[in-house]
């Protein structure tokens, strides 16, 4: 660890992080083992009030296991869109208990908004962006209120839209941490095997990437791992990794 893990005093841990903070952290932790980085971030209080956001998908166990090893009291935020696979909800409970993560926080869509904007529960079929906005983006925005930073499970290899992911980014004034940004599929599989982590029950059935039940389909051999998400639509992200634009109204 040595020089890379020296405590530095140039990082502002107030709620408003700057790009300079992210740049300094990226420089400091370049090449540092992921677990060592997480342990240091928690030990030094660099992240301030933070939480890990997890979809409890097929790769989620790796980040959650690493976070549990670094600080098992870290809050884990899960957005239950009310359209999740039952297997995902069961997997969430299994991982939280197995890894000893003690702070589970589930946030759901606003029932008033759902009644007004998706009373028939069919918005996904004609307006997937609007459906994601009311069922995932807005609930997560509420969950992140008051956080100084948050920890994401994004990885560059997952799709072409996720290339060049830095470990530390600035998003809406918060520090966004991507501990697995430079991990590849082989790294994840090796970590699963080395630590005997439970697999999502739907992975073996052909679902390498899992979101809401209506908008997730099986992936054929040779397809992009996220090809089964919003199949048939020019949509690749739910919207939670897209920074807000000043003055932009929600897509309702």
Alpha carbons within 13 A on the beta-carbon side of 37: 18
Active site residue 238: yes
Three-state secondary structure string covering the chain: CHHHHCCCCCCCCCCCCCHHHHHHHHHHCCCCCHHHHHHHHHHCCCCCCCCEECCCCCCHHHHHHHHHHHCCCCCEEEECCCCECHHHHHHHHHHHHHHCCCCEEEECCCHHHHHHHCCCCCHHHHCHHHHHHHHHHHHHHHHHCCCCEEECCCCHHHCHHHCCCCCEEEECCEEEECCCCCCCHHHHHHHHHHHCCCCCCCHHHCCCCCCEHHHECCCCCCCCCCCCECCCCCCCCCCCCCCCCCCCCCCC
Catalytic residue, chosen from 132, 212, 215, 238, is: 238
Q: What is the dihedral of CA 180, 181, 182, 183, to 10 degrees?
A: 40
Which of the residues are catalytic?
238
């Amino acid at each position: 660890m040595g020089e890379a893990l020296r405590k530095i005093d140039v990082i502002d841990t107030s709620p408003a992080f700057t790009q300079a903070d992210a740049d300094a952290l990226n420089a400091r932790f370049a090449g540092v083992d992921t677990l060592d980085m997480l342990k240091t971030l928690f030990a030094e209080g660099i992240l301030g009030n933070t939480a890990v956001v997890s979809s409890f998908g097929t790769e989620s166990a790796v980040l959650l296991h690493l976070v549990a090893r670094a600080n098992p009291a870290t809050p884990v935020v899960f957005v239950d869109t009310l359209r999740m696979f039952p297997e995902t909800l069961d997997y969430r409970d299994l991982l939280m208990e197995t890894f000893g993560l003690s702070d589970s926080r589930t946030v759901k869509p606003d029932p008033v908004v759902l009644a007004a904007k998706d009373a028939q529960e069919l918005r996904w079929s004609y307006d997937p962006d609007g459906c994601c906005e009311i069922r995932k983006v807005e609930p997560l925005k509420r969950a992140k209120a008051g956080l100084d930073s948050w920890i994401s499970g994004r990885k560059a290899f997952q799709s072409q839209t996720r290339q060049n992911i830095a470990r530390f980014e600035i998003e809406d004034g918060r520090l966004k941490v991507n501990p697995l940004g430079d991990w590849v599929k082989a790294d994840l599989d090796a970590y699963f095997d080395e630590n005997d982590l439970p697999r999502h029950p739907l992975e073996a059935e052909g679902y390498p990437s899992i979101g809401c039940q209506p908008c997730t389909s099986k992936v054929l051999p040779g397809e992009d791992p996220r090809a089964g998400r919003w199949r048939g639509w020019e949509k690749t992200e739910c919207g939670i990794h897209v920074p807000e634009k000043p003055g932009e109204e929600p897509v309702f």
